[in-house]
Structure 1
Amino acid sequence: MKSLLLLIFTLHRASAANHSLDYLFIGITPGASFPEFTAVAQVDGSQGWYFDSNSRNLTGEWLRNNTDVQHWKLITEMSYRYQEVFKVSINKTMHLFNHTEGIHTWQWMIGCEENGDGTKRGHSKYGYDGEDFLSLDLNTLTWTAPNDKKQEWESTPKATDQKYFLENICIEWLEKYVEYGRATLERKVPPEASLFQKDSSSPVVCHATGFFPKAVMISWQKNGEDLHEDVELRETLPNQDGTFQKRSVLTVSPEELNRHNYTCIIQHSSLEKEMVLQVSGRKVSGGGFIDVIIGAVVTVLIIVIIVVWMKKKKQQSAYQPPAENLQCDRDEEADGE
């Protein structure tokens, strides 16, 4: 489950100099082979801490070994509290949709980013069963929702509370975590690269894996000239060890491959010079592609829910958000610190 949640946080960041802190909370109805509540924090794409309702323990060694006891206690208590809040939230939302049975989920993603130029950004969005139903506009303090019932949400202090959290507490915690995890977050691990295809008529895959930080560029050249057609760049995915992997797929005919000189170019901050792989030296596997399995167990239900939600596939349904409030307010932080 931990590694599956890493997949969710493969969000695009503009620069390696940026720092980001993202939280994801997921509630799921009983009966699935997953914890009923899961919370995870990601710092620059690396897992800061993880909590679920089965273990009821907060884990995150590089963070725990460096953070103060009061802050760790605050995060633990916050996780316990949200476990109970999400039980209520998912039940209320099921009732709104007249759902009485089946597997359903309630998701909340909230986080902030501090860029190298000093600018700061925040985001907060909610989803039900994988659909994006509510997101916060920090500039106007308004919610984007499928219908006018969002006004009932706006009448609560939630938007103001979340704005304060994102622009103040979240940034403070981000800076704290970056300092604690600097050795991990600023390490540089070079990629391992390979070229392969299923058979002579299949697409050619240029695959880079095991690299850190996340930012990487994979491009193609044809006879020494940059190639943009017939190329599909895939998402950057996490590995279980905290590194990343990425692939780019070249689809041309066998005749074209033999007639021209194709190369894959990989650029990464850990490399003194770019890696150049000749397509002529590719490996033809003679079998199917083997995708890296992320985590010990990959559950199709959760992947579909999250991927659909992240792609913001809109569902025009009546919706009224449950009224839980952000618990990480200024008074609680003052008490915790």
Structure 2
Amino acid sequence: MKNNSQTNANMQTAVILLCGIHLSYAATHSLQYFYTAVTRDINFPEFTAVGLVDNGQFMYFDSNTMKAVPKTEWIGQNEGADYWDRQTQGLIGAHQVYKNNIQVAKERFNQSTGVHTFQNMYGCEWDDETGATNGFNQDGYDGEDFLNLDLKHQTWISPVPQGVITTQKWNKNKADLDYRKQYLNTVCIESLKKYLQYGKSSLEKTVSPQVSLLQKDSSSSVTCHATGFYPSGVTITWMKNGEEHHEDVELGELLPNEDGTFQKTSTLTVTPDEWKNNKFSCLVEHKGINREENEIRTNNGNSLPIGIIVGVIVAVVLLVGMAGIGYKIYQKKKKDFKPVSGSDDGSNSSAPA
């Protein structure tokens, strides 16, 4: 995310920056897809789909354009028109399924009006050092957990009573459960490795974070803001007098920047006296060269204002609310869902509820 000097006047940053960056390497890679359906009551596509490799977006689809498109050079250069046609057709079908899913969910929650969202996230992880793999598939309704696939036991579970009727039906479909296990454990991993090879030069780049301590005024909490780093694996730890400090600490979400890098925050709440009488520092661990900084950031400095961070969160809600590609689509039958086959070439298509 680029700096925006117009918001700097809202910030007073007069705290000492004490941060270290040390070598750290996350060997785990991920392939994720997000589907999001929304009701028609807002100015936003009623269905969106996003695909991510190592938390970086590489494809996109929405119900306004009705077309799956590449979002990185490496996927656009390695997959041709047939690939994108298949993704487009699968997601057009998913759009119809999700329109239905959100209506069924509204009925189950006894809702007739208001803005509502139905989301699915699925994908896999692979550790390139140990070879360990993991798969996941979960649904959410209005930002809360709705359905989750326990891959180890091949069982759908729901934390809410409105989802139990679906788990009962889906858990009887052993063929579908076997298919999902095979996809997440094998096909998804193969696709992830293929995409990593496609984007080898860009995905293996390393950019160290810029780290700032930000504070609105002397009595407010202090935010450690790390931004501009790639890959996404980062650890932020507060230190107090040389020891790790975990009390009154709130860790923020990992957020994407416009240039493909990432940012993350960790906020410490302490009294002015406690801050004054102790030596607090923020330790950021990321793959990169060692760096130690000790300087004061002011309104004229190049740290990113909290106002921009908050603005980015809104954008990420939209990003994380999208996603997908072919994976097994569910269609409604007699006011419920029935699994049907979807496209499957490196991805899979899922539509829960």
TM-score (norm 1): 0.77
Matched, 1:233 2:251: yes
Deviation at 1:230, TM superposition (A): 4.2
Q: Does residue 1:193 correspond to 2:211, yes or no? A: yes
Once the two structures are superposed, residues 263-287 of structure 1 have per-residue CA deviations (whole angstroms, 9 ceiling, x without a partner) of: 32222212x2143446xx35489xx
Residue of 103, 123, 134 corresponding to 1:121: 134
Rounded to whole Å, the distance in 2 between the matches of 1:129 and 1:321 is: 19
Q: Go from structure 1 to structure 2 and tell me whether the alpha carbon gap of 1:104 and 1:257 turns closer, same or farther (over 3 Å shift).
A: closer
Counterpart of 1:132 in structure 2 is 145
Give the match for residue 61 of structure 1: 72
How far the C-alpha of 1:257 sits from its partner, in A, is 3.0
Point out the more displaced range, 195-204 or 16-25.
Answer: 195-204
- Within 2, Cα distance between the matches of 1:87 and 1:74? 20
1:39 maps to 2:49: yes
Shift of 1:322: 2.4
For structure 2, the residue ranges without an aligned partner over 5 or more in a row are 1-23, 322-334, 349-353
1:73/1:277 CA distance change after superposition, 3 Å: farther
- Please tell me the residue identity of whatever aligns with 2:258: Q
Q: CA deviation at 1:112?
A: 0.8
Distance in 2, matches of 1:259 and 1:195, equals 18
Measured after TM superposition, the shift of residue 298 of structure 1 is: 4.7
CA contact (8 A) 1:185 1:213 kept: yes
State how far apart, in whole Å, the 1-side matches of 2:316 and 2:225 are: 24
Structure 1 residues 96 and 223, CA gap change in structure 2 (3 angstroms): closer
1:20 matched to 2:21? The reply is no
Match in the other structure for 1:255:
273
> Cα deviations across residues 232-252 of structure 1 (Å, max 9, x unaligned)?
332222212211112222333
Q: Is the 8 A contact 1:265 1:274 kept in 2?
A: no
> Which of 342, 348, 352 is the aligned partner of 1:327?
342
| Contact in 1 for aligned 2:219/2:272 (Cα 8 Å) | yes
Distance 1:282 1:68 in 2: 48
Q: Aligned partner of 1:88: which letter?
A: N
Spell out, residue by residue over 1:153-174, the C-alpha distance to the aligned partner (whole angstroms, 9 max, x if none). Answer: 2223432222222122211211
Q: Distance in 1 between matches of 2:72 and 2:203?
A: 14
| Alignment root-mean-square deviation, CA | 3.0
Q: Per the alignment, in what secondary structure is the counterpart of residue 133 of structure 1?
A: strand
Asked if residue 76 in structure 1 is aligned to residue 91 in structure 2, the reply is no
CA distance in 2, matches of 1:85, 1:207: 40
Shift of 1:196: 2.3
Letter aligned with residue 104 of structure 1: H
Specify the alignment match of 1:211 in structure 2: 229
Q: CA deviation at 1:42?
A: 0.7
Q: Which amino acid aligns with 2:218?
A: S
Distance in 1 (alpha carbons) for counterparts of 2:28 and 2:140? 26
Bigger fraction of residues in strand: 2
Residue 176 in 1 paired to residue 206 in 2? no
Change (3 A) 1:299 1:237: closer
Q: Give the corresponding residue for 1:273.
A: 290
Q: How many residues align?
A: 298
**Contact residue 64 and residue 72 of structure 1 kept, 8 A:** no
Task: Tell me the distance in 2 between the aligned counterparts of 1:252 and 1:98.
Answer: 44
Q: Which structure's relative contact order is higher, taking Cα pairs within 8 Å and 6+ residues apart?
A: 2
Identity %: 40
Give the letter for the 2:41 counterpart: G
Indicate the SS of the match to 2:65.
coil
The answer on whether the counterparts of 1:265 and 1:276 sit within 8 Å (CA) in structure 2 is: no
1:155 is the counterpart of 2:172: yes
State whether residues 191 and 208 of structure 1, in contact with CA within 8 Å, keep that contact through their aligned partners in structure 2: yes
The alignment partner of 1:323 has SS state of: strand
Q: Secondary structure of 2:337's match?
A: coil
Cα deviation, residue 130, structure 1: 2.6
What's the secondary structure of 2:78's corresponding residue?
A: coil
CA separation of 1:326 and 1:184: change in aligned 2, threshold 3 A? farther
Secondary structure (helix, strand or coil) at the match of 1:294 reads: helix
Runs (5+) with no aligned partner, structure 1 = 1-13, 307-319
SS class of match (1:214): coil
Please tell me whether the aligned partners of residues 57 and 72 of structure 2 are also in contact (alpha carbons under 8 angstroms).
no
Q: What letter corresponds to residue 85 of structure 1 in structure 2?
A: V
User: Which letter does structure 2 place at the counterpart of 1:193?
Assistant: V
Measured at CA, do residues 230 and 26 of structure 1 come closer, stay the same or move farther in structure 2, by a change above 3 Å? closer
Look up the equivalent residue of 2:172 and give its one-letter code. S
Structure 2 counterpart of 1:310: none
Please report how far the alpha carbon of residue 46 of structure 1 lies from its aligned counterpart in structure 2 after TM superposition.
Answer: 0.3
Quote the Cα distance in structure 2 between the aligned partners of 1:51 and 1:76. Answer: 8
| Number of the residue aligned with 1:311 | none
